[in-house]
Amino acid sequence: MVDSRVISVCAERAPRAVYAVRAGPCDCARPPRICQRAVAVRNSHHFGAAGYYVRRAAEAGLLALATSTTRTPVVSATGGTTPVLDTNPLAFAAPRSGGSPLVIDMSTSVVAMNKAKAYALRDEELPPDWVGDRSGIQLVDAAEAFQLLTHGGAMIDPGQLRMLALIERHGTLTAAAHALGLSPAAVTQQVARAERESKASLVLRGPRGATLTEAGTLLAGHGRVIDQQTEEA
């Protein structure tokens, strides 16, 4: 006999970890011998370590798979620089006779995004192959890398980064547009697009010109590097 159930839980914006534990398939150790459970937790935030949930199921004698979505694409495909994937934590566990369960807990990224935050809190540099921006520049400053990731900065293309650097240099959208060979309207549209993609305010406009926000200044720094590389090429 097969016992199959689908469980859907609304976490009401609470940590997903709390509801994943509550909704876990803890009743499957009882007969029938074939038991299937699918548990979905929605409207939640931090998931925690996915391996924890599958280990609990494996300790009850079950095969288990857990995965989670996230809201910010930060992972590029192999050989690419454009983020197209979430980190998507993924874990699998299986019971073993005479030993602890086999547990595989992984993500699609090199490391968890919060690793950059942990390094920043310790004021340590990142390994050079952990975080790169869309132009391919590898970041070792942990605080800068984490801010770039959380602002979605890795999604901005090199042309937009260079545009921000020119706005910072010239102080007006009109002067930046002239340096780029574009119309002021086109630069205004590019700024709006960059702000949508980064989910952050980047440029402050005033009667005396334009200045960059903290996030805009961070991204403009990468634009300056691109300018320098272009001049040296």
pLDDT digits (tens, 9 = 90+) for 87-122: 777 899 999 988 899 999 887 788 777 788 889 889
Lowest mean pLDDT among 9-18, 27-36, 135-144: 27-36
Total Cβ atoms within 10 A of residue 72:
16
Q: Which CATH number fits domain 113-232: 1.10.10.10, 3.30.1490.100, 3.90.1150.10, 3.90.1170.50?
A: 1.10.10.10
131 phi, psi to nearest 5 deg: -130, 130
Where does the pLDDT of residue 19 fall: very low under 50, low under 70, confident under 90, or very high at 90 and above?
very low
Higher-confidence residue of 60 and 27: namely 60
Cβ proximity of 211 and 201 under 8 Å? no
Q: Which CATH number fits domain 2-106: 3.40.50.920, 3.30.1370.60, 3.40.50.720, 3.40.50.170?
A: 3.30.1370.60
**pLDDT value of residue 151:** 59
Higher-confidence residue of 125 and 219: namely 125
Report the distance separating Cα 216 and Cα 207, nearest Å: 19
**pLDDT value of residue 168:** 93
DSSP letters along 172-197, please? SHHHHHHHHT--HHHHHHHHHHHHHH
The answer to whether the peptide bond before residue 32 is cis (omega within 30 degrees of 0) is yes
Structure tokens at 160: 């937009």
Where does the pLDDT of residue 172 fall: very low under 50, low under 70, confident under 90, or very high at 90 and above?
very high
- Given a cut of 50, whether residue 225 has pLDDT beyond it is yes
Q: Where in the chain is the domain with CATH 3.30.1370.60?
A: 2-106
Structure tokens at 119: 């390094």
**pLDDT value of residue 14:** 65
Cα torsion angle, 192, 196, 197, 199, sign = positive
Beta strands in 29-155 (DSSP E): 34-42, 64-67, 75-76, 83-85, 90-96, 99-106, 131-132, 138-139
Q: Where in the chain is the domain with CATH 1.10.10.10?
A: 113-232
**pLDDT value of residue 178:** 93
Q: Tell me if residue 127 falls in helix, strand or coil.
A: coil
Structure tokens at 62: 């079950």
Report the distance separating Cα 104 and Cα 96, nearest Å: 13
**pLDDT value of residue 232:** 60
